Amino acid sequence: MRILFIAALHHPEALEKAVAATPPGEPKPLFPPSTAHHFWEKALRLRGHTLDVFYRNQSAFGGAVRSQHFSNRWTPQRIATAAINRLPPELNPDFQQRNRNLIEHARTFRPDWLWLTGDNTVIYASTLATIKRETGCKILYSTGTSPIVFARPIEKQAARLYNLALVNDFYHGIQWLELGAKAMECMPGVACDPAFHHPYDLTPEQRKAFTCDIAFVGTLLPENLYSRRIAALETLRDFDLGIWSVHDVPASLRGNVRGQALGEDMLEVLSAAKITINVHGDFMRYGGNMRLFEAAAVGVLQITDDLPGIHQWFTDGENIVTFKDFDDLRAKVTHYLSHDAERETLIQRARAHVYAHHTYIQRAERLELLLTTAT
């Protein structure tokens, strides 16, 4: 199949580095290795599909895409973004040109499928309808977030054009069906790649910098979207807790911050810890975030919140540990820090489990079936 991604480019510096490191004769990567779509790209290419990408957050009038850093502070960039967002997308001259560029791109590439990633604030429903009409393609919409919380009108207006909504969270899929999507599949858009997601050998310097009993790597702001995650980590501040985030963190947790970590750095951090805490965002009530499968492959015990999807994809007490409340979380952290053999058994089972059932190749095989049967 010919698949055209319509996605935002995140961590552009990481992509530039990956492109520069690509051996001669090999295709240049479309996505940086710090994102799930990098591994989808790798798996789909191995399966024989032809891929291309249109970066919807690349200005039509030039200028580089910059990495986003979230902060509670009002910065000039944040003020400018807020002002632009008040302008209807259809009246934004830059967005108008991006949509025209996408149509021309699709006319040249002739996709069988458009893969539109979530949090679209740029591409019009009329643009997607034009591409479907002119090329005969179908649309796969993938998202890890709730349309109730995140989707703007531009995204909801296009829902009836989506032939398939691919969601991490089952409840989000129901919402997209209610908005008009023709079908939905609750299949996490994230997984692991054994060649990348594995325990890492660390230098003495890395051991010194990363070693801690409990590690957390991820996003903690805005607080209204990650309140459960913040509260869980606040509960553990008196333990040996290390936090790594590319964004700012709440004042209550700044004393635990060790630095930033993306991609391989994130896996090295987790490889040095005994336990990692994975609490889903407030907008995920079923489960299935990226860290769930990555952490299971790295060689660290994962303790996560007790959500329905966790029990669909893992077995509590066998290859993962869940907690019901913060007293339960503290009790389980204390137990597994003092029972090395039990912790190591769970770690080994978790890695074997995700390698057997949750790789990107297996996700790609399932997606192929969904795409070939979609109406």
The CATH number covering residue 34 comes to 3.40.50
Same domain (yes/no): 303, 367: no
Is 123 within a domain?
A: yes
CA distances from 313 to 116, 145, 146, 304 (A): 25, 19, 20, 13
145 and 83 share a domain? yes
255: which DSSP letter?
G
With respect to residue 168, please indicate whether it lies within any of the assigned structural domains.
yes
pLDDT of residue 364: 98
User: pLDDT class for 63, splitting at 50, 70, 90?
Assistant: confident
Tokens of 42: 């790798």
| Amino acid (1-letter code) at residue 249 | V
Which residues are CB-neighbours of 229 under 8 A, at least 6 positions away? 218, 220, 279, 280, 281
> pLDDT tens, 296-321?
999 999 999 999 999 999 999 999 99
Are 208 and 341 part of one and the same domain?
A: yes
pLDDT digits (tens, 9 = 90+) for 351-367: 999 999 999 999 999 99
Quick one: pLDDT at residue 83?
66
Sheet with strand 138-143: strands edge to edge: 50-55, 2-7, 113-117, 138-143, 164-167, 184-186
238 pLDDT above the threshold of 90? yes
State the CATH number of the domain containing residue 297. Answer: 3.40.50.2000
Instruction: Calculate the alpha carbon distances from 361 to 41, 43, 224 in Å.
Output: 10, 5, 35
Backbone angles phi, psi at 89, to 5 degrees: -55, -35
Q: Evaluate whether residue 196 is within a structural domain.
A: no
Distance separating alpha carbons of residues 187 and 168, to the nearest angstrom = 6
pLDDT tops 80 at residue 10: yes
pLDDT digits (tens, 9 = 90+) for 253-264: 999 999 999 899
Residue 5: phi and psi, rounded to 5, are -75, 135
- 258 lies in the same domain as 152: no
| φ/ψ of residue 346, rounded to 5 | -65, -40
Q: Are residues 168 and 300 in the same domain?
A: no
Look up the domain containing 244 and give its range: 204-357
pTM given for the model: 0.91
- Let me know whether 228 and 134 are in one domain: no
Indicate whether 365 and 266 sit together in one domain: no
Q: Distance between CA 103 and CA 98 in Å, rounded?
A: 9
Is residue 186 pLDDT above 90, yes or no? yes
Q: Whole-angstrom Cα distance, residue 51 to residue 5?
A: 8
* 199 part of a folded domain: no
Residue 19 belongs to a domain: yes
**pLDDT tens, residue by residue, 124-169:** 999 999 999 999 999 999 999 999 999 999 999 999 999 999 999 9
Cα separation, 182 vs 172, in Å, equals 14
Say if residue 62 is in the same domain as residue 119: yes
Specify whether 143 is located in the same domain as 182.
yes
CA–CA distances in Å: residue 225 to residues 85, 106, 118, 147, 150: 19, 35, 17, 14, 10
pLDDT at 21 over 80: yes
Pair 180, 224 in one domain:
no
Q: pLDDT class for 34, splitting at 50, 70, 90?
A: confident
Examine residue 182 and state whether it is found in any structural domain, yes or no.
yes
Residue 60 resides in a domain = yes
Find the mean pLDDT for residues 336-355. 98
Residue 65 has pLDDT above 90, yes or no: no
- Statement to judge: residues 99 and 170 lie in one domain: yes
Q: What is the pLDDT of residues 267-288, one digit of tens each?
A: 999 999 999 999 999 999 999 9
**Are 163 and 114 members of one domain?**
yes
How many structural domains compose the chain? Answer: 2
Q: List the end-to-end C-alpha distance of the chain, in Å, as a whole number.
A: 16
How much of the chain exceeds pLDDT 90, in percent?
91
Q: Give 246 or 66, the one with higher predicted confidence.
A: 246
The answer to whether residue 197 sits within a structural domain is no
